[in-house]
Amino acid sequence: MTLELPVAHTLSLIDAALRTLDPHGLADEQVFTLDQEVSTPFYQRFVLTNPQPTKLAAWFEVATAGTSFYLDRSAELPEWSYDWIRDNPGGF
């Protein structure tokens, strides 16, 4: 599947940030796994791999319009628009 440009660009930024914390990136599926049931070229959801009952659920959603991050079903950060992400990759 070929991803829409905003989605691919945002995922590359997230992957680069994850690799500064841990050697595993998104493609490694060691920390986050793509939710295949909702995967489309314009929307991707990544969830924690092997969640445990004693840990918080965490996931992020990347769409052509922007990105959101959730902990236990609560949006922890305001949604970032793709225009802002594109213009401020370091801040993102």
**What pLDDT score was predicted for residue 85?**
95
> Tell me, what's the pLDDT at 5?
96
pTM, to two decimals: 0.84
- Answer whether 57's CB lies under 8 Å from 71's CB: yes
Residue 12 parent element (H or E): helix 5-21
Counting the structural domains of the chain, the total is 1
Within a domain: 60: yes
Average the pLDDT over 53-67 and give the result.
Answer: 87
Q: Grade residue 77 by pLDDT with cuts at 50, 70 and 90.
A: low
Question: pLDDT tens digits, residue range 4-59?
Answer: 999 999 999 999 998 898 888 888 888 889 999 999 999 999 998 877 777 778 89
Q: 24 with 18: CB under 8 angstroms?
A: yes
d(CA 43, CA 84): 18
Residue 74: inside a domain, yes or no? yes
What is the structure's pLDDT at 58?
Answer: 85
In-domain check, residue 36: yes
pLDDT of residue 75: 66
Q: Are 22 and 31 in contact (CB under 8 A)?
A: yes
Q: Could you list the residue range(s) of the whole structural domain that residue 29 is in?
A: 5-87
On whether residue 92 sits in a domain, the answer given is no
